[in-house]
């Protein structure tokens, strides 16, 4: 099975953040990437792992 690779813009759209935020996470090594020549791609499974790791239920009140 082939892993789906996403452009930073596609990953940003999925997470509802800006592409700049994705690039900052990549630079901070918070999000691993695959380099294809000069292109940077994000494996779909790495994006899912970021979502699952960073998930925190919203807490209301103090």
pLDDT in tens, 8-41: 999 999 999 999 999 999 999 989 999 999 999 9
pTM surpassing 0.85? no
Domain that holds residue 49: 5-53
Give the span between the Cα atoms of 19 and 48, in whole angstroms.
Answer: 17
Number of compact structural domains in the chain: 1
27 belongs to a structural domain: yes
Structure tokens at 50: 């970021």
Would you tell me how many other CB atoms lie within 10 Å of the CB of residue 36?
A: 9
For 1-46, strand residue ranges (E) read 5-6, 34-36, 39-43
Confidence at residue 21, expressed as pLDDT on a 0 to 100 scale? 94
Residue 42 lies in a domain: yes
State the pLDDT at residue 45.
95
């Amino acid at each position: 099975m082939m892993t789906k690779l996403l452009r930073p813009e596609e990953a940003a759209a999925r997470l509802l953040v800006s592409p700049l935020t994705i690039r900052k996470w990549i630079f901070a090594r918070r999000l691993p990437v695959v380099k294809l020549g000069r292109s940077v791609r994000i494996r779909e499974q790495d994006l899912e792992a970021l979502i699952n790791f960073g998930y925190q239920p919203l807490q209301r009140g103090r």
